[in-house]
A and B are shown apart, each in its own frame.
Chain A
Amino acid sequence: MTASLIDGKAFAAQVRGKVAAHVARLKDEHGITPGLAVVLVGEDPASEVYVAAKHKQTVETGMASFEHKLPANVSEADLFALIDQLNADPTVHGILCQFPVPDHLDERAVVARIDPAKDVDGLSVMNAGLLASGEKGLVSCTPLGCLMLLRDELGEMSGKEAVVIGRSNLFGKPMGQLLLRENCTVTIAHSRTKDLAEVCRRADILVAAVGRAEMVKAEWVKPGATVIDVGITRIPHPEKPGKTKLLGDCDFDSCATVARAITPVPGGVGPMTIACLLANTVTACCRAHNLAEPDGLTV
């Protein structure tokens, strides 16, 4: 292996440290405690794990965490009533509804109900539009986390060739917009792309987000490229029966022989997502109070 490891776990801890320091300052100097409200509908076990992790980290950084659990059969009207109440609550600066929600609820409508200024997941049409318009909004957490890792690794990215594999609303599109804002030359590749390997070989920055285990091989990677692996596929563990193992979109061992730097799975992009959620909550709080935003926690 020649590539250096991009340690997302350590970097996420740094981000949380910055968040905590800023939260402490907001409390000391202004008497303000940033607050994050998480809405969980139903009892999806994976969602419960995520929500618990978010709650724990929110509290650890000194912020207020508000959890709202609603039954799986909650009506849209009741869910919207709760969101409206959180929108109006001055102690709540960030709101997120944990997805997936039961089928009778429309995720886009749920996101649209959240005040864009409190949409710390950055998923609303308004925040997507603000990002694409080069204006201040809240940026979707996973792409924001990838951008932070890239900035830390590369510094100035202007003029670099960036290829993003995957064109999802959740990740590929906002990631492309962020890289364009950094003045990279950006290609968004996807399932319809003709010669994906060749497109990827152009990239100084290769971001893979398709969810196909180990699809990106060493031959796809330009020597010296920086590789960010967003994909997560869970497979039965090859050696430990009954256990599972996480795989990224990149064949880590082979790609690491060619790349300059690469994120592992797990421990790369993953830990950045919640860290950026906390960062967005502090950012939203500062904006709500017309206070200076913390440095390096948003675009």
Chain B
Amino acid sequence: MPDQGTQTHAHDPRHVRGAPVRKRILSEVAGYVAGAKDIGRLVSIMIGDTPEVAVYIRGQARAAEQVGLPFDQQVWPGDISQESCKRRIQDMNDDPGVLGIILQRPVPEHINVRSLQSAIHPLKDVEGMNPASVGNILYNDVALAPCTAAAAVELIRETGLNMRGLEVVMIGHSEIVGKPIAVMLMAEGATVTVCHHMTRSVAMHSRRADVVVVAVGKAHLIGPDMIKPGAAVIDIGINQTENGIVGDVDTRAVTDVAGWVTPVPGGVGPVTVAILMRNATVAHQRQKAAGWI
């Protein structure tokens, strides 16, 4: 029999694909934007010339265009000082024409990215990176969450699983992905265990989980022996390998065991940018509620 694995799996009903979710979110956002008078622009800041970021910015610009949001691509000089960056961001905080601010990473070494993220006002923090935004998530106000985390949660919702009492194992405890996902799912009633590089036996945890979310950046770390039959597996890893881009999950093998798997590419990734656009509409609502616009 010819190996048609990839083809077969591309249409496997167990695969939770990001494209339809992205489309749905973007169309909701477009509807909102069409009805919002004088909505401001999204500003993307790239500091210095970082070509690896260009592909992400293009994706964001395309999504913004689709929903009708003005997208202002700024490139700041690579030798700009921390202070000037901060001042420019503060000016944008005060500018009612700026809806949201996206700080592209990486930044040059002399720039403290955390301090700049903290300078972005929480009401314009469409990436959900300001510590106050992180704190809001911890306190169950999850509307402006980091995009990748929110995208993963969106795809779990897509399976139709009821979160209450669900056993979730989050593998990876990064500040922008693992931790916020854990907190968001906990807020919905799941029992969440966070595993990481120091966890004695990740498999012991993942094998009892109804949902496994992986964000560690190790190609094919998760095999079928680590997954409970019928579980949902959300793969956030993006790993460049000789065979192209693969996730942290051995998708093909895990598909035989799991109830749902998000493919890489084509799973969480496409939803991430859509969430960024949705965050922009949340920011708009909050700015209005705060009397800013």
Kindly supply a per-residue 1/0 record for chain A positions 159-176, scoring 1 wherever the CB is within 8 Å of any chain B CB and 0 otherwise.
101000001010001101
- Majority secondary structure, A binding face: mixed
* Cα–Cα, bound, A186→B194 (Å): 5
Query: Considering only CB atoms, which chain B residue lies closest to A161 in the complex?
Result: B200
Decide if A135 is an interface residue (CB 8 Å cutoff).
yes
Number of A residues with CB within 8 Å of any CB on chain B? 35
Interface residues of B in 106-151 (CB under 8 A from A): 114, 130-140
Taking a contact as CB atoms under 8 Å apart, the answer to whether A188 and B175 are in contact is: no
Q: How far is the CB of B122 from chain A (nearest CB, A)?
A: 9
Decide if A180 is an interface residue (CB 8 Å cutoff).
yes
Kindly supply a per-residue 1/0 record for chain B positions 139-183, scoring 1 wherever the CB is within 8 Å of any chain A CB and 0 otherwise.
110000000000000000000000011010000010100011011
- Within 8 Å by CB of B136, from A129, A131, A194, lies A129
Q: How far is the CB of B126 from chain A (nearest CB, A)?
A: 16
Taking a contact as CB atoms under 8 Å apart, the answer to whether B135 and A128 are in contact is: yes
Taking a contact as CB atoms under 8 Å apart, the answer to whether B132 and A185 are in contact is: no
Q: Known interface pairs A129-B136, A158-B198, A194-B165. Does A135 touch B131 (Cβ–Cβ under 8 Å)?
A: yes
Kindly supply a per-residue 1/0 record for chain A positions 68-112, scoring 1 wherever the CB is within 8 Å of any chain B CB and 0 otherwise.
000000000000000000000000000000000000000000000
Taking a contact as CB atoms under 8 Å apart, the answer to whether B199 and A185 are in contact is: yes
Decide if A142 is an interface residue (CB 8 Å cutoff).
no
Looking at A124, A127, A176, the one whose CB has the most chain B CB atoms below 10 A away is: A176
Residue numbers in A under 8 Å from B136 (CB-CB) = 125, 129
Residue numbers in B under 8 Å from A187 (CB-CB) = 191-194
Number of B residues with CB within 8 Å of any CB on chain A? 35
Q: How far is the CB of B167 from chain A (nearest CB, A)?
A: 7
- Within 8 Å by CB of B114, from A127, A135, A177, A194, lies A135
- Within 8 Å by CB of B134, from A132, A180, A184, A194, lies A132
Taking a contact as CB atoms under 8 Å apart, the answer to whether A128 and B183 are in contact is: no
Decide if A243 is an interface residue (CB 8 Å cutoff).
no
Taking a contact as CB atoms under 8 Å apart, the answer to whether A167 and B186 are in contact is: yes
Taking a contact as CB atoms under 8 Å apart, the answer to whether A128 and B179 are in contact is: no
Q: Known interface pairs A125-B132, A187-B193. Does A169 touch B139 (Cβ–Cβ under 8 Å)?
A: yes
Decide if A190 is an interface residue (CB 8 Å cutoff).
yes
Residue numbers in B under 8 Å from A177 (CB-CB) = 138, 179
Decide if A5 is an interface residue (CB 8 Å cutoff).
no
Query: Considering only CB atoms, which chain A residue lies closest to B141 in the complex?
Result: A125
Decide if B195 is an interface residue (CB 8 Å cutoff).
yes
Residue numbers in B under 8 Å from A133 (CB-CB) = 114, 131, 134, 175
Kindly supply a per-residue 1/0 record for chain A positions 180-196, scoring 1 wherever the CB is within 8 Å of any chain B CB and 0 otherwise.
10011111111011100
Taking a contact as CB atoms under 8 Å apart, the answer to whether B135 and A127 are in contact is: yes
Taking a contact as CB atoms under 8 Å apart, the answer to whether A193 and B195 are in contact is: no
Query: Considering only CB atoms, which chain B residue lies closest to A181 in the complex?
Result: B173
- Within 8 Å by CB of A159, from B114, B186, B199, B205, lies B199
Taking a contact as CB atoms under 8 Å apart, the answer to whether A180 and B173 are in contact is: yes
Q: Known interface pairs A126-B131, A129-B136. Does A193 touch B191 (Cβ–Cβ under 8 Å)?
A: yes
Taking a contact as CB atoms under 8 Å apart, the answer to whether A125 and B139 are in contact is: yes
Query: Considering only CB atoms, which chain B residue lies closest to A189 in the complex?
Result: B191
Taking a contact as CB atoms under 8 Å apart, the answer to whether A132 and B138 are in contact is: yes
Residue numbers in B under 8 Å from A126 (CB-CB) = 131-132, 135
Residue numbers in B under 8 Å from A199 (CB-CB) = 191
* Cα–Cα, bound, A188→B199 (Å): 15
Taking a contact as CB atoms under 8 Å apart, the answer to whether A188 and B192 are in contact is: yes
* Cα–Cα, bound, A128→B200 (Å): 28
Taking a contact as CB atoms under 8 Å apart, the answer to whether B189 and A173 are in contact is: no
Q: How far is the CB of A39 from chain B (nearest CB, A)?
A: 21
Decide if B218 is an interface residue (CB 8 Å cutoff).
no
Residue numbers in B under 8 Å from A131 (CB-CB) = 138
Decide if A134 is an interface residue (CB 8 Å cutoff).
yes
Decide if A130 is an interface residue (CB 8 Å cutoff).
yes
* Cα–Cα, bound, A131→B134 (Å): 9
* Cα–Cα, bound, A134→B196 (Å): 15
Interface residues of B in 172-230 (CB under 8 A from A): 173, 175, 179-180, 182-183, 186, 189-200, 205
* Cα–Cα, bound, A185→B196 (Å): 7
Q: How far is the CB of B203 from chain A (nearest CB, A)?
A: 12
Residue numbers in A under 8 Å from B192 (CB-CB) = 187-188
- Within 8 Å by CB of A129, from B130, B182, B193, B197, lies B130
Which 9 A/B pairs are nearest by Cβ-Cβ distance?
A129-B135, A129-B131, A125-B135, A129-B134, A128-B135, A187-B193, A183-B198, A193-B191, A185-B199
Show 23 residue pairs from A and B whose CB-CB distance is below 8 angstroms, ordered by the A residue: A124-B135, A129-B135, A132-B134, A132-B137, A132-B179, A132-B180, A159-B198, A167-B186, A169-B138, A173-B138, A173-B139, A180-B173, A180-B179, A180-B196, A183-B198, A185-B199, A186-B194, A188-B191, A188-B192, A190-B186, A192-B164, A192-B190, A194-B191
Beyond A132-B183, A187-B192, list 6 extra A-B contacts (CB 8 Å). Answer: A124-B135, A132-B134, A132-B138, A183-B196, A185-B194, A190-B191
